[in-house]
Amino acid sequence: MPPQHSKSGDPARSLALLWRTQEPASRRRGKPGLSVDRIVLAATEITDTEGLAALSMRRVAEALGVGTMSLYTYVPGKGELIDLMVDAAYAHLDFGDRSGDWRERLRRIAHANRDLYIRHPWMLQTVTTRLLGPNLIAKYDHELSAVDGLGLSDIEMDSTVSLVNGYVESTARKVLGSEQVARESGMDDEQWWRTYDPLLAALIDDSQYPVASRVGSAVGTAHQAVYDPDHEFSFGLERVLDGVQVLVDARSAERSADSAEPDAPDRTSTRPRDRGCGPLPS
């Protein structure tokens, strides 16, 4: 299904809902039982189990045992509900402490985001570029703090965080896709490998594909599967961090070069142009 995002035409109303700055009309009228948080929790449980395609205001209302229209006094529609679900999910990110160097901090951030996607696969089908909820802002602030003080510009800090999160998102998609194939086929990667490796060995001429045969055999022996998602994630993450290291080292070298330059002599008090005498003669 296509990516899901808020379809609200009123940004102020969406922000008020995310930040809980406006009390729902039903609560003002004294109607107990429902709340935004309860609706979000029910919607998240449905979506975790059945997928984003199963989510609807009617389905949530059924799970809560209320009429569908009663939800709309709390949440304007499905788009806003999804935004609330995403922001609520961010509240449960476990980044651990802030100890260690910047590489270790970014590692923890990457693993925490990956775990979040595994717990809530539907989040990979959402668009969050315009989501400005409190938990997303807190997440962003924490992630930026991992690279603060390294000499990067503010733009470079933002891009570094986006690079790591983009890598995490792409690898999580691959893992979840593999899990879906396993569920639909009734065979996980290890079982598939044990079944098809002998068949492939009988079909493939190693001399015709020498490099692929050698490397594929080594991978199969090491992982007992076509690939090991944990190994691939860790290997790729370290290469991403190596790239960030190049940038950090470059900025450090620039600072060292700047500090090593001798101070230029101060002639501001003797130059005629500074006394309003016009340009210096050639």
Beta-carbon contacts of 223 under 8 Å, excluding residues fewer than 6 positions away, are 231
CA-CA distance, 277 to 282, in Å (whole number)? 14
* 235 and 119 in a common domain: yes
Residue 273 is assigned to a structural domain of this protein? no
Last residue of a domain, one of 52, 69, 90: 90
Residue 1 is assigned to a structural domain of this protein? no
Last residue of a domain, one of 90, 123, 151: 90
Summarised one tens digit per residue, pLDDT across range 133-146 is: 999 999 999 999 99
Kindly report the pTM of this predicted structure: 0.84
Question: Which CATH number characterizes residue 74's domain?
Answer: 1.10.10.60
Contact (Cβ atoms closer than 8 angstroms) between residue 33 and residue 55: no
Summarised one tens digit per residue, pLDDT across range 17-40 is: 999 887 665 554 544 689 999 999
CA-CA distance, 181 to 24, in Å (whole number)? 43
The stretch 73-98 carries a mean pLDDT of: 92
* 86 and 107 in a common domain: no
Residue 200 is assigned to a structural domain of this protein? yes
* 252 and 150 in a common domain: yes
Host domain of residue 53: 11-90
Q: What is the pLDDT of residue 270?
A: 42
Mean pLDDT of the chain: 86
Q: What is the pLDDT of residue 120?
A: 97
Summarised one tens digit per residue, pLDDT across range 257-280 is: 988 776 655 554 444 344 344 444
- Considering its fold, how many domains does the chain have in total? 2
* 108 and 161 in a common domain: yes
* 155 and 80 in a common domain: no
